[in-house]
Amino acid sequence: MTEVRTAVIGAGRIGLTHAVTLAHRTHGARLVAVTTTSTERAAEVRRQCREVAVYPSLDRLLEAGQVDAVVIASSTSAHVANVERCAAAGVHMLCEKPLALDLEGCDRAISAARAAGVKLMIGHVRRFDSGYQEAKRLIEAGAIGVPVIVRAISGDMDPPPASFANLSVSGGLLLDSMYHDFYLSRWLMADEIVRVYTEAGALIDEGVRSVGDVDNAVVSARFAGGAVGTMTASRVTRYGHDLRTEVIGDEGAVQVGYFRQTPVRLLDRKGVHHDTPHSTPDRMGEAFVSELQAFVDCVREDTNPPVSTLDARATVAVSLAATRSIRDGRPVDVEVGRPETMAEKSRLPSSRGGRQRRDKKV
């Protein structure tokens, strides 16, 4: 396949980001359509992506039969149904995270893609960010020794509408937002999270509170190999879109994250000033390009997607356990997945045993 005819399902903030990237910055792909029921969003798609077909529904898009692959950027609650319909049509898919609101939904989506013989990649965009990729390389090279602690911070400037915060639509703060930190931590530590404990509350936003979600949360995590972690998520970091991660090893540490959109600082009598990223597309712009290119390449070259559905399922399991911990007020064990869902064995031995060291090769 020399050119992948690609459509985007949904034209919200992330859907439009994907559409623009496919239209202008993805080699080997051609954006052929977008779906949305909003006339305003349709006009914005046409303005930024030039002439592209806009359909009011996924069914209308599939009936046209002019697409090889889709990017599913609809609400999380619609992911499974959309995956099943696209799989039945023989269309390859990049589905935004999380794959589903529960593990049963993940299994339905995975089974549908496997039965149809189509590719299903999950949108773990931060894994394609250059900072996180370099951190992964350094850890694997032994630059920090044996990783023992991971710390992550994620913050959005403004809370979402209550209609989105509703757990039946997005899964809530932990499944929607902290999900990123769970999958990054599992990836960077090369180990599975097996137990979580969450302290959280609806501390600021009444809309979030009204639908039973929280706007601030801190999760303590235990990994299978004995390492520990803390993940913090907030819907109300008014100063900007704050993403930071640190992995500490027995020989050093690696930190990921910057908090400046433009590489300029103003110094005056009042202090030092610089701008900040305000949204995920602001902070992760190049990562979206790399992610979509990886998806298009795996379709063109008939290779396995770099982010598997089983990895996504395991991350959903962690998010669900952390959400349940809020309700139960106690640590919760993560539901053990099928054997193939487990990541490579941790380099860190059990906390009851001794420690291992690796040669540093940076």
Q: Could you report the per-residue pLDDT of 254-291, keeping only the tens digit for each?
A: 999 876 667 677 787 888 777 677 766 766 668 999 99
User: What architecture is the 4-125 domain classified under in CATH?
Assistant: 3-Layer(aba) Sandwich (3.40)
Is the Cβ–Cβ distance between 226 and 350 less than 8 Å? yes
Q: What is the mean predicted confidence (pLDDT) over 89-94?
A: 98
Q: How many helices (H) and strands (E) does the chain have?
A: 12, 15
Judged against a pLDDT cut of 90, whether residue 203 lies above it is answered with yes
Per-residue model confidence (pLDDT) at position 260:
64
Percentage of the chain lying above the pLDDT 90 cut: 79
160 cis-preceded (ω within 30 degrees of 0): no
190 φ, ψ to 5°?
Answer: 50, 45
Q: How far is CA 306 from CA 94, 119, 194, in A?
A: 11, 11, 23
Per-residue model confidence (pLDDT) at position 355:
39
Q: What is the pLDDT of residues 108-127, one digit of tens each?
A: 999 999 999 999 999 999 99
Per-residue model confidence (pLDDT) at position 261:
67
Q: What is the pLDDT of residues 291-349, one digit of tens each?
A: 999 999 999 999 999 999 999 999 999 999 999 999 999 999 998 765 343 333 333 33
The tokens describing 280, both together, are 């995920």
Q: Where are the domains of the chain?
A: 4-125, 127-284+313-341
| pTM for this model (two decimals) | 0.88
User: What architecture is the 127-284+313-341 domain classified under in CATH?
Assistant: 2-Layer Sandwich (3.30)
How does DSSP classify residue 175? I
Q: Over the range 41-68, which residues count as b (16 or more CB within 10 Å of their CB) and which as e?
A: bbebbeeebeebbbbeebeebbeeeebb
235 φ, ψ to 5°?
Answer: -90, -5
Q: How far is CA 234 from CA 153, 206, 231, 277, 292, in A?
A: 8, 14, 10, 15, 27
**Torsion over CA of 243, 248, 251 and 256, rounded to 10 degrees?**
-10
> Residue 202's Cα: distance from chain center in Å?
23
Rounded to whole angstroms, the Cα distance separating 144 from 201 reads 35
Secondary structure element (H or E) that encloses residue 22, with its range: helix 13-24
Rounded to whole angstroms, the Cα distance separating 203 from 197 reads 19
Rounded to whole angstroms, the Cα distance separating 18 from 32 reads 13
Is the Cβ–Cβ distance between 97 and 179 less than 8 Å? yes
